[in-house]
Amino acid sequence: MAESVLELAIKRVMGWFLPVINLERVAYILHRITGFYLAIYLPLHIISTHNSLNPIAWGEELKLYSSPLIKAGEIFLIFSIFFHGLNGLRLLLVEYFNIFLPKTMPSSLYLEKILSLHNPQKTVLYIVYILSIILTILGTLYLYNILTLRW
Amino acid sequence: MSREITVSKINAPSQQLAVTKTITKLMRVKIKRYNPETGKFKFSEYKVEVSRYDTVLDVLMRIIRDQDHTLSVRYSCRMGICGSCAMMINGKPRLACMTNAISLGESIYIEPLKNFPPIKDLMVDMDSLFRKHRSVKPWLIRKDEEEQFLAKKEYLQKPEEVNAYRIFSTCIKCGVCVAACPTAASNPRFLGPMVLAQAYRWSADSRDEGAKIRLEIVDSIDGVFGCHFAGACSASCPKNADPALAIQYLRRFVLTYKR
Amino acid sequence: MRYSSIAKWQYWTAIVLLVVLSIHLLFRILPGSYDKSLEYNQVRENYSNNLYIVTLIVLLFVALFHAFNGLRVILYEFSPRLGRIATPVILALGIIFAILGLLTMAGIYIFP
């Protein structure tokens, strides 16, 4: 069956979502999307901070930052940083150090609860989602100068 | 539409069996079939009388017997231990013999198993899966090969040593986890959750001495590092063999192995 | 041996990034409000802090490695041929952006 490259690409990306949706899979998809977004943002940030050497160019850049499209991108950036960081921390602890996985395996077969998808790993996943949303809301409030801090 | 049918009493001389009533329902079964001559998929619809305890495999066998004998389905044990009848039922990869038909709702939608090339109707080509399985050497590797074939006594294991791999040894190699895995969907060279879990099952066995050989096979982006813990494999495994857990243990094994 | 050594680098740069990025973001919330933290004088004042300069240099290399290696893995999973072509391209891009970042750092000392 000959398929064009575009059809293959669409089929491969749709394969990320179907057929079973569970919370860890959603975290995997979001981790990829936020990682991709951050990897695109990083070179642009390096280029834009080059303007910090020149006060006139810096002023022009600040005017660019206040456009609503860039602001929306910045809100997604805040979510990306927090989600990718927290989920990455969870993946690091689970995959490299095997922290939230059972240390001793039970002796019975045909368990009702699937070990890797339940406590304590699931609790950490919920914490990651809730913390990212809370921190994104706080970050957005700070972005629009609604939230200010006094030290 | 449901109607009750009653099984009549048997008037044996000394005993009488109780009357049993079974609920049946007329269900619509839609099957996506692959035609190897044209290379395209087509849909076939059937209406089947399904009773309360029928499995999807029972429904399929009834269709083949009564309505359409050209439908090709793979099945063998009909009790969830051989792993032959894996297919997509109402969008989820499941074993047909372990899925109750009447509880699926209004209609049943059956497709061939995802992430495998189809051969005909609902049968898919599992060759690549078993080739990948053989490549991680899923057998006991020991240095003293002669002792393996002319053994003088059995290998002893403590209960903790058995428990370390016991759950992963319940895998029936059905391929449902491969159909659910997002990485297996986008990367056809990915070994797959079943293969990686079996690589861990043999490497964690205390009787085995060949862990180093398997770790080198599995150590690549197409191996254990293609898994990013989406957990869909463990969520859909019909035997609860938890391949995701085995892969995380295998990953730590690969990363911390002293060479 | 083949990918696990690069995977170890990916995990360790992730840990370092968590620390260094929080310090970098700290300098965004220390002045008190978002607009105040983006004023030109504030930005130049940050650069006089030596700890911050060291943080920025470490952040540059670590973030570039982590991000571009992640991109490379995604491209490889799509097709290995694309991954093989992408490796030198991404390496070159990484070096270019590292040099650009270092130029910015050097410019701080040349034009105070």
Q: Quote the CA–CA distance of B30 and B109 in Å, as a whole number.
A: 5
Q: Which residue, B210, B223, B179, is CA-closest to B88?
A: B179
Residue B95: strand pairing partners: B86
Helix (H, G, I), strand (E, B) or coil at B8: coil
pLDDT of residue B10: 52
Question: C95 or B187, which is more confident?
Answer: C95
Q: What is the arithmetic mean of pLDDT over A102-131?
A: 80
Chains touching A (3+ CB pairs < 8 Å): B, C
**Using CA atoms in the order A108, A111, A116, A121, what is the torsion angle rounded to 10 degrees?**
-100
Q: Testing the interface with B: which of A84, A105, A124 to mutate, by most B Cβ within 10 A?
A: A105
Half-sphere exposure (CA, 13 Å, Cβ side) for B117? 9
Q: What is the arithmetic mean of pLDDT over B9-20?
A: 51
* Smallest CA–CA distance from B216 into chain C, residue: C1
Percent residues over pLDDT 90 in chain B: 54
Rounded to a whole number of angstroms, the distance from the CA of C68 to the nearest CA of chain B is 15
Q: What is the arithmetic mean of pLDDT over A15-33?
A: 83
**ipTM exceeding cut-off 0.85 for this assembly:** yes
Q: Quote the CA–CA distance of A53 and B81 in Å, as a whole number.
A: 69
pLDDT of residue C29: 81
- Among A70-79, B164-173, C74-83, the range scoring the smallest mean pLDDT is C74-83
Q: What is the CATH number of the domain that holds C9?
A: 1.20.1300
pLDDT of residue A1: 40
pLDDT digits (tens, 9 = 90+) for B143-168: 887 777 887 888 889 988 998 898 89
Q: What is the arithmetic mean of pLDDT over C80-85?
A: 84
Q: Testing the interface with C: which of B221, B222, B257 to mutate, by most C Cβ within 10 A?
A: B221
C105: which 2 tokens? 């750092």
pLDDT of residue B178: 94
- How many domains, in total, are found in chain C? 1
Helix (H, G, I), strand (E, B) or coil at B34: strand
Q: Which residue, B106, B79, B75, is CA-closest to B90?
A: B106
Q: What is the arithmetic mean of pLDDT over A17-41?
A: 88
Q: What is the mean pLDDT of chain B?
A: 87
Domains of chain B with bracketed CATH? 2-124 (3.10.20.30), 127-255 (1.10.1060.10)
Helix (H, G, I), strand (E, B) or coil at B27: strand
**Total Cβ atoms within 10 A of residue A69:** 7
Helix (H, G, I), strand (E, B) or coil at B118: strand
B114: which 2 tokens? 């995802």
Residues from chain B contacting residue A98 (CB–CB below 8 Å): 248-249, 252
pLDDT of residue B8: 53
User: For residue A142, what pLDDT band results from cuts at 50, 70 and 90?
Assistant: confident
H, E, C per residue of chain C? CCCHHHHHHHHHHHHHHHHHHHHHHHHHHCCCCHHHHCCHHHHHHHHCCHHHHHHHHHHHHHHHHHHHHHHHHHHHHHCHHHHHHHHHHHHHHHHHHHHHHHHHHHHHHHCC
pLDDT of residue A3: 57
Q: Quote the CA–CA distance of B251 and C33 in Å, as a whole number.
A: 44
Residues from chain A contacting residue B186 (CB–CB below 8 Å): 12-13, 15-16
Contact B23, B52 (CB under 8 A): yes
pLDDT of residue B11: 55
User: For residue A2, what pLDDT band results from cuts at 50, 70 and 90?
Assistant: very low
User: For residue A53, what pLDDT band results from cuts at 50, 70 and 90?
Assistant: confident
pLDDT of residue C9: 92
Are A53 and C107 a contacting pair at CB < 8 A?
Answer: yes
Q: Quote the CA–CA distance of B253 and B211 in Å, as a whole number.
A: 9
* Residues on chain A bordering chain C, Cβ-to-Cβ distance under 8 angstroms: 9, 12, 32, 35-36, 38-39, 42-43, 46-47, 49-50, 52-53, 55, 58-59, 62, 65, 81, 85, 88-89, 92, 96, 142-145, 148-151
Residue B87: strand pairing partners: B94
Q: What is the arithmetic mean of pLDDT over C39-50?
A: 79
pLDDT of residue C35: 74
Q: Quote the CA–CA distance of B111 and B31 in Å, as a whole number.
A: 6
pLDDT of residue B193: 94
**Total Cβ atoms within 10 A of residue A30:** 17
Range of the domain at C21: 4-110
* Smallest CA–CA distance from B258 into chain C, residue: C1
Q: What is the arithmetic mean of pLDDT over B74-78?
A: 92
pLDDT digits (tens, 9 = 90+) for B84-140: 999 999 989 999 999 999 888 888 999 999 889 999 989 999 999 999 999 999 998
Q: What is the arithmetic mean of pLDDT over B198-210?
A: 91
User: For residue A30, what pLDDT band results from cuts at 50, 70 and 90?
Assistant: very high
Question: A43 or C28, which is more confident?
Answer: A43
Helix (H, G, I), strand (E, B) or coil at B78: coil
Q: Quote the CA–CA distance of C100 and B101 in Å, as a whole number.
A: 63
Q: What is the arithmetic mean of pLDDT over A91-104?
A: 84
pLDDT of residue C80: 81
CA distances (Å), origin A33, targets A28, A151, B126, B226, B229: 9, 35, 32, 16, 15
In the DSSP assignment, the letter for residue B73 is -
Query: Is residue A16 predicted with pLDDT exceeding 80?
Result: no
- Among A60-64, B75-79, C102-106, the range scoring the smallest mean pLDDT is A60-64
Q: What residue spans of chain B are helical by DSSP H?
A: 56-66, 127-135, 145-149, 159-166, 176-180, 182-186, 193-203, 211-218, 232-236, 243-255
pLDDT of residue B60: 93
Q: Quote the CA–CA distance of A136 and A144 in Å, as a whole number.
A: 12
pLDDT of residue B152: 82
Q: What is the mean pLDDT of chain C?
A: 86
In the DSSP assignment, the letter for residue A67 is S
Tell me the torsion sign for CA atoms B38, B39, B43, B46. positive
A17 in B contact zone (CB under 8 Å) = yes
Half-sphere exposure (CA, 13 Å, Cβ side) for B88? 23
The alpha carbons of chain A give a radius of gyration, in whole angstroms, of 21
Q: Which residue, B106, B98, B87, is CA-closest to B47?
A: B106
pLDDT digits (tens, 9 = 90+) for B15-24: 444 545 678 8
Residue C90: strand pairing partners: none
Query: Is residue A55 predicted with pLDDT exceeding 90?
Result: no
Query: Is residue C76 predicted with pLDDT exceeding 50?
Result: yes
pLDDT of residue A86: 94
Residue holding tokens 């005909």?
B120
Query: Is residue A59 predicted with pLDDT exceeding 50?
Result: yes
pLDDT of residue B75: 93
Question: A31 or A3, which is more confident?
Answer: A31
Rounded to a whole number of angstroms, the distance from the CA of A95 to the nearest CA of chain B is 5
Q: What is the arithmetic mean of pLDDT over B195-210?
A: 92
Indicate the burial class of B217 (C-beta count within 10 angstroms; 0-12, 13-18, 19 or more). middle
Which residue type does B79 have?
M
